[in-house]
């Protein structure tokens, strides 16, 4: 067998890396790629640019990693090295030779794939931090000097626009109502493109919702149910949602991921993929992966948050909060119970269970949290009243 040099093995490994990293990179496209955007119209004079504050904010969101900036403000491009999530693969010469003898340099495929996964998840981590902090100046203000989330974003013709919706609560009906209001706000935003005022979100929007774990069951139901209180659910299949560790458990965010082609929708926090190539360092008998990932931040006119009309905050901080309990139901053979499976019920509410034996069968036992309530079945239904805790319901059937 012809012995291959380390250099030849590195070249072969580079091809493995390109395939493995490339496939995973495509699979893990960041969902927040268009969360915030740069604004090209020169609203802020150069004398008012707040470079130090904005760079300080970016340093915080990158966990103190150093920021390598070019000349400012004449050049508005900054490259931030992704130190926290940038991983390296260090492979010794002996490992390369072993892999070469086995003709299996793809031994390292899983490690390379994991690097791509982590790199591609990073925009969500950083983007969510900016999203929740959007009511403060920690990362700078929007182009009009306001915080990212504000009720009085102004344009030159005195049009005031708000990207905050006052939430009504966390029930399914309340959230559906607030989603309608948030969507209407996104569709109604104006900006300047091509020298004049234009309706920005003229197309149907691609909606992503970000919520805390407390709101998961509500948004799952809103996304998947056909009806809400007997009315067709217009939000079914019309959005996706992600869970985030937000401190305000019932406030949620609607983000527009649709790029309508205007320059304003260019992301301000933009991932840049570097070539996944290896360097062969024979002096140290190792081959090390180059840095995989960088951030590009477009700071035109010192706009920390860029175009604020990419997201709407539904503020439920003052809204009444409803506590939910889980009703888990199951039926034995020769009959059914409805609703079946898991149902979320608001605290204090009633849930009516319909129990239907198969032909030739009757109810044997109906147990609620282990207690026999068979005698309380009335004309094929049983009502759990004033729910204050989770319930486990089982029903069995016997021949009549």
The helix or strand, by DSSP H or E, that contains position 351, with its residue range, turns out to be strand 351-357
> Distance (Å, rounded) from C-alpha 19 to C-alpha 5?
22
Query: pLDDT, tens digit, for every residue of 24-64?
Result: 766 765 555 445 444 333 333 333 333 444 454 445 444 44
pLDDT band for position 124 (50/70/90)? Answer: low
Rounded (10°) CA dihedral 9, 10, 16, 19: -150
Whether the predicted pLDDT of 120 surpasses 50: yes
Please tell me whether the overall predicted TM-score, pTM, comes out greater than 0.75 for this model.
no
State yes or no: pLDDT of 393 exceeds 60. yes
Which has the higher per-residue pLDDT, 234 or 156?
234
Question: So where are the chain's domains?
Answer: 6-315, 324-399
How would you class 163 by CB atoms within 10 Å of its CB: exposed for 0-12, middle for 13-18, buried for 19 or more? buried
The continuous run of DSSP H or E covering 149 comes out as: none
Kindly report, residue by residue over 337-353, the tens digit of the pLDDT.
Answer: 999 888 878 888 899 99
Q: Which two tokens stand for residue 218?
A: 């509500």
For 287-341, give the secondary structure using H, E and C: EEECCCEEEEEECHHHCCCECHHHEEEEECCCCCCCCEEEEEEEECCCEEEECCE
| Edge-to-edge strands, sheet with 381-384 | 335-338, 351-357, 381-384
Q: Are 254 and 311 in contact (CB under 8 A)?
A: yes
CA distance 392 to 394: 7
Give the span between the Cα atoms of 267 and 264, in whole angstroms.
Answer: 8
* 176-186 confidence digits (pLDDT tens): 999 999 999 99
- What is the share, in percent, of the chain residues with pLDDT greater than 70? 66
Residue 178 φ/ψ, nearest 5 degrees: -70, -35
Mean pLDDT of all residues in 267-272 = 52
Lowest model confidence (mean pLDDT) among 71-75, 87-91, 181-185: 71-75
């Amino acid at each position: 067998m012809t012995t291959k040099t380390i250099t030849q093995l590195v070249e072969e490994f580079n091809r493995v890396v390109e395939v493995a990293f490339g496939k995973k990179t495509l699979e893990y496209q960041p969902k927040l790629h268009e969360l915030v955007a740069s604004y090209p119209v020169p609203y802020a004079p150069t004398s008012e640019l707040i470079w130090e504050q904005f760079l300080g904010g970016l340093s915080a969101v990158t966990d103190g990693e150093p920021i390598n900036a070019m000349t400012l403000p004449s050049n508005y491009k900054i490259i931030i090295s992704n130190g926290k999530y940038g991983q390296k693969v260090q492979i010794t010469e002996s490992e390369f030779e072993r892999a070469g003898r086995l003709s299996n340099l793809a031994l390292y495929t899983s490690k390379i794939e994991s690097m791509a996964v982590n790199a591609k998840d990073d925009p969500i981590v950083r983007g969510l931090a900016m999203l929740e902090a959007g009511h403060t100046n920690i990362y700078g203000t929007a182009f009009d000097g306001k915080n990212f989330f504000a009720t009085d974003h102004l344009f030159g013709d005195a049009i005031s626009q708000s990207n905050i919706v006052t939430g009504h609560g966390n029930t399914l009906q309340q959230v559906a109502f607030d989603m309608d209001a948030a969507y209407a706000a996104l569709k109604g935003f104006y900006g300047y493109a091509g020298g004049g005022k234009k309706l920005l979100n003229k197309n149907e929007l691609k909606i992503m919702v970000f919520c805390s774990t407390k709101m998961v069951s509500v948004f799952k139901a809103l996304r998947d149910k056909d009806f809400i209180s007997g009315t067709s659910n217009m939000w079914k299949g019309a959005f996706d949602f992600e869970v985030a560790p937000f401190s305000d458990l019932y406030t949620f965010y609607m983000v527009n991921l649709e790029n309508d082609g205007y320059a304003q929708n260019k992301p301000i926090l933009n991932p840049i993929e570097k070539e996944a190539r290896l360097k062969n360092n024979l002096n140290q008998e190792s081959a090390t992966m180059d840095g995989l990932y960088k951030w590009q931040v477009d700071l035109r006119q010192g706009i920390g948050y860029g175009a604020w009309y990419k997201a709407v905050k539904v503020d439920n901080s003052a809204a009444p909060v409803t506590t939910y309990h889980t009703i888990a139901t199951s039926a034995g053979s020769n009959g059914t119970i409805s609703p079946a499976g898991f149902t979320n019920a608001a605290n204090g509410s009633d849930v009516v269970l319909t129990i239907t034996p198969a032909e030739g069968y009757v109810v044997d036992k109906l147990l609620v949290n282990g207690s026999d309530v068979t005698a309380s079945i009335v004309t094929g239904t049983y009502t759990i009243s004033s729910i204050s805790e989770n319930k486990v319901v089982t029903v069995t059937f016997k021949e009549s």
